[in-house]
Amino acid sequence: MEIINRYRGKGYLLDIMDTFVDYKNFLHRMGIALKQIGGMERTGRGGKKVRTPLFPELSSYWSRHTWAAIAAGLDIPKETISEALGHSIGSEVTSIYIKFDRKKVDEANRKVIDFISVK
């Protein structure tokens, strides 16, 4: 709730959609920023920024992959992981008839958060 309250949007839950044209634009800009995490110093007369990124290939995919790997290691069912990542469960036709219980995703997120918090 602290994160939601800090970044609450006007028309959407989070303010990213108030700032960016669409979610693809946000993801693109976030990808650029993630690749710049690390050291930075200004050099020369104009104070040009010279960056030394810690993880030059970092992307939002890393967090999704890491979450899924941790969740699988905690024996969270593959179907729950799939739904949490926004992937279809089974075939498209079957997915139309199955109403997935979103509480399972909430429980999976809690397990992953609790696991990380212990470390």
User: Which tens digit of pLDDT belongs to each residue from 35-88?
Assistant: 999 999 999 888 899 999 999 999 988 888 888 888 888 888 888 888 888 777
Count of all residues that appear for the chain in the document:
119
Per-residue pLDDT at 95 exceeds 70: no
* pLDDT number for residue 94: 43
Q: Which two tokens stand for residue 96?
A: 């139309």
* pLDDT number for residue 52: 94
46 burial type by CB count under 10 A (0-12 exposed, 13-18 middle, 19+ buried): exposed
Per-residue pLDDT at 97 exceeds 60: no
Distance CA 10, CA 69 (A): 34
Helical axes 102-118 vs 60-73, angle rounded to 10°: 90
pTM (global) more than 0.95: no
> Three-class SS of residue 42?
strand
